[in-house]
Amino acid sequence: MPLRETNIVSGAQTKFGKLEGVTLREMFAEAVEKATIGSGIPLEDIQAAFIGTFIPEMLVHQGHTAPLLADYAGLRGLPATRHEAACASGATAIRAAIMAIESGMYDTVLVAAAEKMTSVSTNKATEALAAAADDEFESSMGLTFPGVFAIAAVAHMQEYGTTEEDMALVAVKAHHNAAKNPLAQFQKEITLEKAMTPRYIAWPLKLFDCSPISDGAAAIVLTNNERAKQYTDTPVKIIGTGQASASMNLCDRKNLTSFEASVRASRIAYEMAGLQPKDIDVAVVHDCFTIAEIIATEDLGFFKPGEGAKAVREGVTAMDGDMPINPMGGLKAVGHPVGATGVKQAVVIYRELIGEASANQVPRHDIGLMHNFGGTGATCVVNIMRRADA
């Protein structure tokens, strides 16, 4: 069966941020309740659960999370499987759910993801996140993720003339959009001057170039064409999906200004959807750092290599621009509870396409794209979605 048979019929997320007094399972259950019962979908209709979490063993000392989280959310007894691909854990869970529906094994499934990160110190969280990199050749030598993306930023600056101000403008845009999003971790705009404040995390990346440590959860319900209209008048079809992998370490990469897995995954998704980058109305990309957004927009084909920064400067990627990127604030300002990010991205595109993004609604919203990658881009998933009536 073609992938056009897969529909998102509901989507929800918790607030992202430092959620004190809220456990991993409680966040997960909240997102599931909103996406199912809260959206008029009985729990009894869910036939399987695909769950994304990255490092609960290191952050909350909890493994074997899939049955635990499913049970707490009222789904005891269902097949529940955990998916782990670093920051792309949520998106790989979505891919597995798509394949389960397209195979005919299930009609209606849940994809949900959560991460509780603020229960440990910043140093401990940084150490845990480093597990997504190559420990033998990079992490054990002291290279952290800010350092990795700083290397990519320097390469992009040298190759294309990208500046620190260009990256700061990405942060300004992210906070401007997130200020309108009540579920965002940071709901306050920042000036370019503030974004340029020289508090370097890893030169040339400053404090406002980096996404925060966050808690949060998100969930979507997927079903086939036959059942979609039972749940909503505005289903969103997943019409293209691609996944690719690349080297875990930088020393084996030929190009530091592009992420190979992003390029490959997007081309697979475009071909499956029968579309080109110019056909996309709105996109959410993995902006764990501001340079990551600039590179992602080039890798996805929205702009030529080296022109992503120019697009930001000219307002092309603004909410009302010709190619809106991260209209609700992205990882940079909404927050980045790593395992939950991919599912949250799907929720954002779903809300945009059905016209329920409130103050963050983009003008054109027939076709959307989500781009979620793990670690330093060793895993990437791209999904393309279309409103059913478009």
Contact between 214 and 15 (Cβ < 8 Å): no
Element of type H or E holding 263: helix 260-273
C-beta separation of 113 from 12 below 8 A: no
CB burial readout 112-142, b (16+ within 10 A) else e: bbbbbbbbbeeeebeebbbebbbeeebbeee
Q: How far is CA 214 from the centre of its chain?
A: 13
Torsion of CA 359, 348, 379, 277, to 10 degrees: -70
Query: Which whole-number Å values give the CA distances from 270 to 153, 210, 260, in the listed order?
Result: 27, 29, 16
Residues with active-site annotation: 87, 336
Neighbouring CB atoms inside 10 A of 4's CB total: 17
Q: Which of 325, 292, 330 is nearest to 311 (CA)?
A: 325
Exposed / middle / buried, residue 305 (Cβ in 10 Å: 0-12, 13-18, 19+):
middle
- Ramachandran sector of residue 8 (left: φ over 0; alpha: ψ -120 to 50; beta: rest): beta
Structural contact between residues 15 and 182, judged by C-beta atoms closer than 8 angstroms: yes
Per-position DSSP letters for 63-74, written without gaps between them: --HHHHHHHHTT
CA 335 to chain centre: 10
Q: Where are the beta strands (DSSP E) in the chain?
A: 7-13, 49-52, 80-83, 108-116, 200-202, 205-206, 215-223, 236-245, 282-284, 367-374, 379-387
